């Protein structure tokens, strides 16, 4: 297996690195602290085609490979993780639509989603359900040619900009196993009964909004069922996620203790990078990669937390100051072990896959 980037991937990585350094880094600290939405950065990402990364070319997307997709998030997250989040939630929605949408749904929404003219996210989490998606309480009851939806979602990235927003609901609350009664509805902005509530305050991951979403007798057309058939919502959502994280007069880097920390950090970051590329290559081969993506997300997120803490220790008081980038990295890092499947949940996924492979 070759862990070197291709010539095309290297050029793409350099393009993304230049974009992040030129457009994002100079404003990240000021805008993040001010709670300013990065509209200008979003506009440039539109012009670069980044909202169409996972959209097939026939619908106006650029359909990049999984390794290149990982490079986008690595380079942008170095500058400002919140900006990467804007792309991440949107891309998950486009992937679900491209994979599972009916021909009419794909033709209706994907072209505008590819350009960023429309944006999206994904509404799974609920106040009482957390990581147990089968425990959601949002219900959609069929009434002739539409569903009447009632419930609430929380921590939804891009909620204010999403049109449509894929929402996981229960169309058959009595189904056993429970996942067979779960469906994704594509809910458009302006639908009566669909309301975006307050933006939730966060330690880090600032820039994109993370909002509450309320559904009160929200009428959604039957034709907005993702894929056109009930009962596949949980599988559709989970499959998409599996795709998709100087002192004492001398520079302190000259001190052996600091050098040891830097060596460990660099080694672990490189290991996380290669593990991520390994998972991306598995996805590009066209097979399921639950084990590989689970390991990559688990390890990379733990390395992220550890590295951000060590960076703060190395920088001392400056690491705690909002005048420097370190405190923002430290605030952003914990979300990596919580969002899109907690690391404890991922450990159970990895263990089950290992047992399955042992017995196969």
Catalytic positions, written as ranges: 340
Contact 24, 76 (CB under 8 A): yes
- What are the b/e assignments for 222-250, b being 16+ CB within 10 Å? eebbbbeebbbbbebbebbbbbbbeeeee
User: How buried is residue 76: exposed, middle or buried, by Cβ count under 10 Å (0-12/13-18/19+)?
Assistant: buried
Could you tell me which of 327, 333, 328 has the C-alpha nearest to residue 300?
333
Q: What angle do helix axes 81-100 and 66-79 make, rounded to 10 degrees?
A: 150
DSSP code at position 58: G
Separation between Cα atoms, residue 175 and residue 271, nearest integer Å: 43
Residue 338 has phi, psi (to 5 degrees) of -115, -45
Contact 277, 226 (CB under 8 A): no
Residue 198 has phi, psi (to 5 degrees) of -75, 155
Separation between Cα atoms, residue 88 and residue 82, nearest integer Å: 10
Separation between Cα atoms, residue 296 and residue 6, nearest integer Å: 21
Could you tell me which of 92, 101, 5 has the C-alpha nearest to residue 54?
92
Separation between Cα atoms, residue 109 and residue 359, nearest integer Å: 43
Separation between Cα atoms, residue 213 and residue 141, nearest integer Å: 18
Instruction: Give the HSE-up count for residue 8: Cα atoms under 13 Å, Cβ half-sphere.
Output: 5
């Amino acid at each position: 297996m070759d862990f070197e980037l291709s010539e095309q991937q290297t050029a793409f990585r350099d393009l993304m690195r230049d974009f992040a350094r030129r457009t994002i880094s100079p404003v990240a600290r000021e805008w993040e602290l001010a709670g300013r939405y990065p509209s200008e950065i979003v506009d440039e990402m539109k012009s670069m085609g980044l909202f169409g990364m996972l959209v097939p070319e026939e619908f106006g997307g650029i359909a990049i490979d999984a390794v290149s997709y990982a490079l986008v998030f690595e380079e942008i997250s170095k500058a400002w993780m919140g900006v990467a989040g804007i792309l991440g939630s949107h891309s998950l929605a486009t992937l679900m639509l491209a994979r599972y949408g009916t021909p009419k749904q794909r033709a209706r929404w994907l072209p505008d989603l590819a350009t960023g003219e429309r944006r999206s996210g994904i509404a799974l989490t609920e106040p009482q359900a957390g990581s147990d998606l089968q425990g959601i309480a949002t219900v959609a009851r069929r009434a002739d040619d539409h569903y009447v939806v009632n419930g609430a979602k929380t921590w939804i990235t891009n909620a204010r900009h999403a049109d449509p927003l894929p929402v996981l609901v229960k169309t058959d609350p009595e189904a056993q196993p429970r996942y067979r009664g779960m469906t994704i509805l594509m809910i458009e902005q302006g639908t009566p009964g669909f309301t975006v509530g307050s933006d939730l305050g966060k330690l880090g991951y600032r820039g994109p909004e993370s909002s509450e979403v309320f559904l009160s007798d929200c009428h959604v057309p039957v034709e907005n069922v993702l894929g056109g058939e009930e009962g596949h919502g949980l599988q559709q959502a989970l499959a998409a996620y599996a795709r998709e994280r100087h002192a004492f007069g001398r520079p302190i880097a000259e001190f052996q203790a600091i050098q040891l920390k830097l060596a460990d950090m660099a080694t672990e970051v490189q290991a996380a990078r290669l593990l991520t590329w390994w998972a991306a290559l598995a996805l590009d081969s066209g097979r399921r990669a639950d084990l590989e993506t689970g390991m990559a997300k688990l390890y990379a997120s733990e390395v992220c937390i550890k590295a951000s803490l060590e960076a703060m220790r190395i920088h001392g008081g400056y690491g705690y100051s909002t005048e420097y980038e370190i405190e923002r990295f430290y605030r952003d890092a914990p979300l990596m072990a919580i969002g899109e499947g907690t690391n404890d949940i991922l450990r159970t996924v990895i263990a089950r896959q290992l047992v399955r492979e042992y017995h196969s």
